[in-house]
């Protein structure tokens, strides 16, 4: 890991983010600029793009580096039932992130609404073409993009890491703008889950037969803490992973014609249309409906009253739980 002034700035940004108070009913949110992906107040939002990076989540990839520093993380089922992440960075850039892995067919629909960069280690040519066609600038390790390297402390293919700042510095003229707001964040009052939802201190999810992420609300930390099954999910430096919001989208997952080296079909998560959702913020959860008309459209969350669902300011993890074989249990 690089030890530079950038690391110090990154650690200071993390302390600021985790120290933010939870916006309860009697607390007014500050007015003025806010980071578009987190709703956290900002002195000014720089004109830099969002960076989406494909991060591995097999057992051999853990613990990951820089994953907890993302503004938004999407978890998706890939071949063999394991999961991978699309980690989106904008408000702060960790010194390095990884392990970085290859693109999958649903990644363009995840990243396209951001209008920025999608970084990965390679993949099926048609998936890469789809990402470009969706308006993204792609940066791939296997084609020689700057910012990727292999570490000697892990075996291939679990050893590709990337430096986010170097990736962002490669943005072309068409991909340098800041992303638009992706979700509504509460301002001047509690998020929807706290205002109209029910108390919930745990979320036990089944994404596949081998993937069982769990989330537990920590009032002391003011955020949801993640576990992989019964094991706490931690960064490479030992810090616990967590988020201000956990958004569960129930989705259809279909098999494609592509196969991995073991012969498993590569699944595709269908991310256009509508479906059921669960939004967890502040130790509460609320049922919702998600909708996404097209690849380039952001996901909208709507409550039973027809109003947009608001999130707590801070980081968000989005769990793509299959309608077939997946499960969501709140406690």
Q: Supply the pLDDT for residue 26.
A: 31
Please name the CATH architecture into which domain 184-330 falls.
3-Layer(bba) Sandwich (3.50)
Nearest to 140 by CA among 160, 116, 155: 160
> Is it true that the peptide bond before 280 is cis, omega within 30 degrees of 0?
no
Mean pLDDT of the 216-233 span:
98
> Residue 21 has what pLDDT?
39
Domain residue ranges of the chain, discontinuous segments joined by +: 48-175, 184-330
Fold match between 48-175 and 184-330?
yes
pLDDT for residue 264: 87
Calculate the CA dihedral of residues 304, 309, 312, 317 and round it to 10 degrees.
Answer: 100
Spatial contact of 74 and 320, defined as CB atoms under 8 Å apart: yes
ω into residue 63 within 30 of 0, thus cis?
Answer: yes
Residue 15 has pLDDT above 80, yes or no: no
* CB proximity list for 37: less than 8 A, separation 6 or greater: 50, 71, 72, 88, 90, 91, 179, 181, 182, 316
Name the band, by pLDDT with cuts 50, 70 and 90, for residue 19: very low
Distance CA 87, CA 241 (A): 13
Neighbours of 300 (CB within 10 A): 18
- Which of 190, 185, 203, 218 lies closest to 280 in space, CA to CA? 203
pTM comes to: 0.91
Is 296 exposed, middle or buried, given 0-12, 13-18 or 19+ CB atoms closer than 10 A? middle
How do residues 191-210 score in pLDDT, each as one tens digit?
A: 999 999 999 999 999 999 99
Per-chain mean pLDDT for the chain: 92
Strands 184-185 and 310-311: parallel
Helices within the chain (DSSP H only): 5-19, 107-111, 125-133, 164-168, 192-196
Q: What percent of the chain has pLDDT over 70?
A: 91
pLDDT over 90 at 23, yes or no: no
Nearest 5°: the CA angle 228, 11, 176 is: 90
- pLDDT tens across 108-150, in order? 999 999 999 999 999 999 999 999 999 999 999 999 999 999 9
Least reliable range by pLDDT among 15-24, 227-236, 280-289? 15-24
Q: What is the pLDDT of residue 10?
A: 45
| Superfamily name with CATH number, domain 48-175 | YerB-like (3.50.90.10)
For the chain, the helix, strand and coil percentages under 3-state DSSP, each to the nearest 5: 15, 35, 45
What is the distance between the alpha carbons of residues 177 and 44, in angstroms, rounded to a whole number? 14
- Work out the average pLDDT over 322-327: 97
Residues 158 and 99: beta-carbon distance below 8 Å: yes
User: How confident is the model over 146-175, as a mean pLDDT?
Assistant: 97
Q: CA-to-CA distance for 119 and 78, rounded, in angstroms?
A: 17
**pLDDT at 230 exceeding the cut of 80:** yes
* pLDDT at 31 (0 to 100): 66
User: Which has the minimum average pLDDT: 24-38, 185-199, 302-316?
Assistant: 24-38
Q: Which of 128, 60, 72 is nearest to 98 (CA)?
A: 60
pLDDT for 1: 34
User: In the predicted model, what is the mean pLDDT of residues 82-91?
Assistant: 98
């Amino acid at each position: 890991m690089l030890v530079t002034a950038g690391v110090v700035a990154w650690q200071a940004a993390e302390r600021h983010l985790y120290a933010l108070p939870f916006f309860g009913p009697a607390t007014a949110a500050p007015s003025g600029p806010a980071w578009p992906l987190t709703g956290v107040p900002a002195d000014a939002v720089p004109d830099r793009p969002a960076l989406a990076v494909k991060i591995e989540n097999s057992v051999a990839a853990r613990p990951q580096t820089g994953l907890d520093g993302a503004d938004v993380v999407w978890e998706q089922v890939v071949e063999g039932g394991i999961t991978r992440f699309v980690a989106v960075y904008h408000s702060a850039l960790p010194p390095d992130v990884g392990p970085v892995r290859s693109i999958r067919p649903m990644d363009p629909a995840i990243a396209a609404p951001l209008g920025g960069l999608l970084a990965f280690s390679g993949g099926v040519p048609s998936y890469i073409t789809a990402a470009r066609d969706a308006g993204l600038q792609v940066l791939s390790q296997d084609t020689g993009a700057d910012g990727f390297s292999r570490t000697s402390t892990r075996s291939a293919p679990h050893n590709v890491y990337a430096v986010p700042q170097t990736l962002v510095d490669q943005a072309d003229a068409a991909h340098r703008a800041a992303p638009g707001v992706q979700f509504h964040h509460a301002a001047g009052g509690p998020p929807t889950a706290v205002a109209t939802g029910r108390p919930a201190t745990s979320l036990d999810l089944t994404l596949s037969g081998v993937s069982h992420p769990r989330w537990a609300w920590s009032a002391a930390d003011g955020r949801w803490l993640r576990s992989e099954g019964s094991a706490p999910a931690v960064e490479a430096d030992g810090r616990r992973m967590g988020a201000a919001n956990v958004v569960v989208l129930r989705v259809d997952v279909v098999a494609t014609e592509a196969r991995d080296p073991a012969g498993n079909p590569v699944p595709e998560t269908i991310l256009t249309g509508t479906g059921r959702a669960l939004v967890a913020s502040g130790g509460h959860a609320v049922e919702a409906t998600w909708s996404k008309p097209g690849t380039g459209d952001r996901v909208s969350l709507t409550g039973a009253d027809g109003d947009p669902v608001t999130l707590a300011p801070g980081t968000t993890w989005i769990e793509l739980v299959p309608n077939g074989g997946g499960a969501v249990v709140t406690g």
